[in-house]
A and B are shown apart, each in its own frame.
Chain A
Amino acid sequence: SQQGEEDPQALSIQEGENATMNCSYKTSINNLQWYRQNSGRGLVHLILIRSNEREKHSGRLRVTLDTSKKSSSLLITASRAADTASYFCATAFGAGTALIFGKGTTLSVSS
């Protein structure tokens, strides 16, 4: 079963605009991670935020976590055409457990 649900399912923006994707989950977590997938193949880790953290930055990425609402958001600033990909959130909710991925948001950035 899916733990995380991303919103929106698809997002189309112009280069230079910001893109915001949201993720909601159901149970308490240890941490939440965001991954990116190009062309339906392997995923690449973007950023991890722990349950006791509220915000984290990495380059043009900003992730927030609201454990009271069981939600997270990924913001990509000044988007580029190369950011076009699917983005997944993944949650870990117990020691010794694997990550559970959501269904993803497909981002399309046009130049």
Chain B
Amino acid sequence: GAGVSQSPSNKVTEKGKDVELRCDPISGHTALYWYRQSLGQGLEFLIYFQGNSAPDKSGLPSDRFSAERTGGSVSTLTIQRTQQEDSAVYLCASSLDVQAGENEQFFGPGTRLTVL
């Protein structure tokens, strides 16, 4: 079956523009996660969804970042008024559910965002 897919794979944008990143989780996975990874760094947790709701938004760096998930499936991460420090690889993952992190997370290939 298909794994987690993300689009676009690469995005170059100008400072101040808005960008939308998309994640298609594995069918049937109720939990979806967004992470950010800057060059040579670990994964920074941004937000996760259980179904369509986001119990924990504490990882979002600023109010320029928002995410939504519809139909318990596709999720979009929106960054408004992008800044150069937003440049990173944005990774999406899904799992069967989020209970105590018991389930393996399956990662997508990521979207490499470059803000000029």
Contact = CB atoms under 8 A, between A and B. Distances in A.
Interface of A: 2, 30-31, 33, 35, 40-45, 48, 88, 90-92, 94-104
**Of listed B50, B91, B101, residue having the most chain A CB within 10 A:** B101
**Of listed A33, A95, A96, residue having the most chain B CB within 10 A:** A96
A43 B4 CA distance: 11
A101 B104 CA distance: 13
B41 A103 contact: yes
A31 B101 contact: yes
A58 to B, nearest CB: 12
A88 B55 CA distance: 25
A30 B37 contact: no
A48 B104 contact: yes
